[in-house]
Amino acid sequence: MSPQPQAAVGAPLSRVDGRLKVTGKALYAAEHEVEGAVHAVIVDASIGRGRITSIDSAAAEALPGVLKVLHHRNTPKLPYRDNSGSNNPPGRRLRVFQDDRVRFHGQPVAVVIATTLEAAQHGASLVKVGYDAEQPSTDLTEAEPDEPTRYARGDAEAALRSAAVRLDLTYRTARNHHNPMEPHATIARWDGDQLTVWDKTQWVVGTQTELAAVFGLETDAVRVISPFVGGGFGTALRCWPHVVVAALAARETKRPVKLVLSRKQMYLGTGFRPSYEYHLGLGSDRRGRLSAAVHELDAETSSYETFTESILAAGQMLYSMPNVTQRYRTVPLDLPTPLYMRGPGFQTASFVIESAMDELAHELGVDPIELRKRNEPNEDESSGLPFSTRRLRECYAVGAREFGWHRRNPRPRATCEGHWLIGRGMAAGVYDTARMPAQASARLDADGTALVEAAATDMGPGTYTSQTQVAADALGLTVRSVTFRLGDSLYPPTPPHGGSMTMASVGSATLDACNRVRRQAIELAVGDRESPLYGVPADDVVVRNGRLHVKNDPTRGETYRRLLARNDRTHLAADGSFAPPSGPERHSFYGYNATFAEVAVDASLGLVRVRRVLGVYDAGRIISPKLADSQALGGMVGGIGTALLEHTVTDHRDGRIVNANLADYLVPVNADIPDLKAVYLDGEDREADPLGVKGLGELVMIGVAPAIANAVFNATGRRVRELPIIAEALL
């Protein structure tokens, strides 16, 4: 088939669902009107580890409006089948009210269901739980690690010993919580053995399979609906225990149940970015050619599940070097299980590696960009595979020019404006281009409009809009003529809305479904004696604005509407799919960036103000430039938070999170956000997927924290190897 003109893809459209969002008509999980819904409020454990010895729910049950109090003594055994079709890490997942164990501070130990929210909240405050408390272990540096995961090529220890220049550095990164604007919420309703759930989730299919596994149902007996998600950053990639609590409460009361987590409860078991302690040994020659890296890192996990993330990949492939060893240990603690948070793994690895590269550049007196270019690999040295596309050198060149890198004084603490010390820093970023099987369906109606559906979700990046753009061009329709529906497990299945894989995976399935429909229409026309296109080779026909015509003769053609009407067709429809090629990969797939930051540090107060951030991205094709900018600017804001503010603090005496609220867990506000700019290298990656995209949502956060840390060094001469960088570290 002839390639379609691209009119919608690449256009800076506003969100197709923008009006719904700003008028409050977009319904988030807790806002769906489900008739007869009652309210559930969870009671959280007030110890960090131990056993429940007593539960007194009499006062709660006596309250007017309270329907039931559920806890481990009155909850039936739930099947909890294994479920590989979810984001459950290895281990034994937390089973709701199935035993008397308390595994972390804040674990759900009971739920109060009442006809009003106020009665449920009051009831929850009246449930008296007795405990046999034990001393929890919540300190990463104090606990016993698991057996390590290892990687080695060459002999890094020996190469490091003989290196002309050697760095031996220890980094620490804080635990971070996702903190989306919309809290987790679930409405659950049973119709006989059929369970319907309106949920905040980044993966309706994952939540569907998990609820089926927990309750021992066929997958088809569960329907999960999630048309709008108010931010996720990874927290909604798993079906957490509170979703099971809602479904259980609905089953036991025979009423639909609505359960909304409080802001505090968002810190008590819906995932987090684990804290790391990370040792990096780096060896190079005098010219800065790297010879060896030794990575030894410890990360938090829970006592009942082993959560790991892609923290090793960057150390194996970002720079050329013959010798690398890595030792990655999880440390089981009395905490809930961590989960992916924006830029998972790569974000933390990039802070460590890119800070160390800056230290090496300073040590050698080499420009940080020049040092990186001297270590640019010709292939992926972890696999021996060629890169599908890797344009990091162009990212450096474009970034240096746009940022005015040549104006940076490499000497630390050399640039002042009054009492402000000014510094500039940069970092490279990398994130893998994940693709997974996805499906979509498309239908072209006789009125010339189209409906495309996939089970995907949209936590904010603009999936509705970007998928509509892809569909519109493939069908040859205007964006206004296409409706894209998502967020329902009844639609064709898709992978998790995370890991930057939605555009490549779902987008390619949408493209396939729409291409099939267009082909049907073209074949109908060229075989129809009544059509002006009769007898034209199908490959010579394109569709534009709902009209099929000969590619080189726009005057010869007809509209979809005429074609379908004359042929008595109510619609044309097709299912589409995408799957990455089977068998071993033939390329190494990654997106790249170069990130630049300028900071001002108050010389006497240690206060860090970010003045500007520039990101230059090699992310393949950009489908939706305006939404890409939203992604990139949001990623930079997230990176500023990680660099300077975000820190979940635990009281190790009892395992309690001290700052489980948005007043004490600091995130950037408008006054913290300076001039941000995103630049995309024009291009596409045809090896990665039919759309040529490499994913953007995770990549844009990576590199921000080390660029800021490196700028802080340039401003102050202080090397801070701990996130967040706080004023005290600079005094």
Q: How far apart are CA 29 and CA 240, in angstroms?
A: 15
From 377, 429, 471, select the one nearest 13 (Cα to Cα): 471
Q: Which is nearer to ligand MOS, 423 or 499 (CB)?
A: 499
Distance from C-alpha of 642 to C-alpha of 639, rounded to nearest angstrom: 5
Residues in contact with ligand MOS, counted by CB under 6 A, come to a total of 11
**Residue among 232 and 368 whose Cβ is closer to ligand MOS:** 232
- Strand-pair category, 128-133 with 165-173: unpaired
Q: Which is nearer to ligand MOS, 499 or 641 (CB)?
A: 499
Take residue 51 and report the two structure tokens written for it.
């056993």
Contact pick of 50, 230, 338, 344 for ligand MOS (by CB under 6 A): 344
Continuous H helices in 153-280: 156-161, 204-215, 241-253
Greatest Cα pair distance, the chain, in angstroms, is: 84
Q: Which stretch binds ligand MOS (CB under 6 A): 74-82, 337-345, 358-366, 652-660?
A: 337-345
Nearer Cβ to ligand MOS, position 86 or 284?
A: 86
What is the smallest separation between the CB atom of 554 and ligand MOS, expressed in angstroms?
A: 43
Q: 675-696 burial, b if ≥16 CB within 10 A, otherwise e?
A: ebbbbbbebbbebbbebbbbbb
Q: Which helix (H) or strand (E) holds 420?
A: strand 420-432
Coil, strand, or helix at residue 429? Answer: strand
Least separation, in Å, of the C-beta of 347 and ligand MOS? 9
Least Å from the CB of residue 295 to ligand MOS = 22
Angle ∠(279,282,286) on CA atoms, nearest 5 = 155
User: Which of residues 283, 460, 498, 557 is near ligand MOS by CB under 6 A?
Assistant: 498
CB of 516 to ligand MOS, least distance (A): 29
In 3D, which of 511, 514, 505, 515 has the Cα closest to residue 456? 505
Specify the stretch interacting with ligand MOS by CB under 6 A; choose among 216-224, 334-342, 539-547, 656-664. 334-342
341 binds ligand MOS (CB under 6 A): yes
Minimum separation from the CB atom of position 496 to ligand MOS (A): 7
Cα–Cα dist 423/25, whole Å = 45
CB 618, min distance to ligand MOS, A: 20
Beta bridge pairs of residue 430:
592
Structural tokens at position 46:
């007030």
Name the nearest CA neighbour of 730 among 608, 647, 609: 608
Whole-angstrom distance, CA of residue 275 vs CA of residue 647: 9
b/e for 35-71, b at 16 or more Cβ within 10 A?
eebbbbbbbbbebbbbebeebebeebbebebbbbbbb
Phi, psi of 387 (to 5 degrees): -75, 135
Residues in contact with ligand MOS, shown as a per-residue x/- string from 418 to 457 under the rule CB under 6 A: ----------------------------------------
What DSSP designation does 614 have?
Answer: E
Q: Are 288 and 271 in contact (CB under 8 A)?
A: no
What is the nearest approach in angstroms of ligand MOS to the Cβ of residue 421? Answer: 34
Site for ligand MOS in 547-576 (CB under 6 A): none
Q: Annotated catalytic residue: which of 646, 698, 722, 728?
A: 698
Closest to 630 in 3D by CA, of 403, 398, 456, 460: 460
Binder among 15, 49, 68, 342 for ligand MOS (CB under 6 A): 342
For residues 13 and 214, is the Cβ–Cβ distance under 8 A?
Answer: no
Closer residue to ligand MOS in complex, CB, 233/484: 233
Six-digit token pair at 413?
Answer: 């603490």
| Choice between 50 and 232, CB closer to ligand MOS | 232
Q: What Cα–Cα distance (Å) separates residue 143 from each residue in 94, 307, 331, 397, 668?
A: 21, 16, 7, 45, 32
Q: Which stretch binds ligand MOS (CB under 6 A): 339-347, 371-379, 537-545, 606-614?
A: 339-347
Virtual CA dihedral for 592, 594, 595, 598, nearest 10 degrees? 180
Rounded to an integer, what distance in angstroms lies between the CA atom of residue 725 and that of residue 719?
Answer: 10
**Sheet strands (E) in 570-631:** 571-578, 590-602, 608-618
Our CB check for ligand MOS shows the closer of 43 and 237 to be 237
Q: How far is the CB of 236 from ligand MOS (least distance, A)?
A: 8
Residues 673-692, interacting with ligand MOS (CB under 6 A): none
Match 């010579």 to its residue by tokens: 540
Enumerate long-range contacts of 522-528, CB under 8 Å, 24 or more apart. Answer: 522/1, 522/548, 524/563, 524/567, 524/569, 524/572, 525/558, 525/563, 528/563, 528/566, 528/567
- Residue 486 vs 522, nearer CB to ligand MOS: 486
- Comparing every residue's Cβ against ligand MOS, the nearest one is 498
The least CB distance from residue 340 to ligand MOS, in Å, is 4
Q: How far apart are CA 566 and CA 572, in angstroms?
A: 14
Evaluate the omega torsion of the peptide bond into residue 437 and state whether it is cis, within 30 degrees of 0: no
The span of 30-38, 338-346, 436-444, 506-514 binding ligand MOS (CB under 6 A) equals 338-346
Residue 438: CB minimum distance to ligand MOS, A: 15
Q: Which is nearer to ligand MOS, 340 or 596 (CB)?
A: 340
Q: Residue 488 forms beta bridges with which residues?
A: 225
**Cross-strand partners of 549:** 542, 557
| Catalytic annotation present for 722 | no
CB of 659 to ligand MOS, least distance (A): 22
Nearer to ligand MOS, 108 or 498 (CB): 498
Residues in 163-202 at the binding interface with ligand MOS, rule: CB under 6 A: 202
Q: Using the minimum distance from each CB to ligand MOS, give the nearer residue, 5 or 231.
A: 231
C-alpha to C-alpha distance for 638 and 174, rounded to whole angstroms: 14
Tell me whether residue 391 or residue 435 sits nearer to ligand MOS (CB atom): 435
**Where does this chain touch ligand MOS (CB under 6 A) — which range of 108-116, 340-348, 370-378, 706-714?**
340-348
Q: How far is the CB of 177 from ligand MOS (least distance, A)?
A: 13
Q: Map the footprint of ligand MOS across residues 220-249, applying CB under 6 A.
A: 232-234, 237
Identify the residue among 230, 429, 499, 591 touching ligand MOS (CB under 6 A): 499
Could you give the 3-state DSSP secondary structure of residue 617? strand
**Between helices 463-475 and 502-526, what is the axis angle to 10°?**
20
Q: How far is the CB of 105 from ligand MOS (least distance, A)?
A: 24
- Shorter beta-carbon distance to ligand MOS: residue 342 or 656: 342
Residues that bind ligand MOS (CB under 6 A): 202, 232-234, 237, 340-342, 344, 498-499
Question: Which residue numbers are catalytic?
Answer: 698
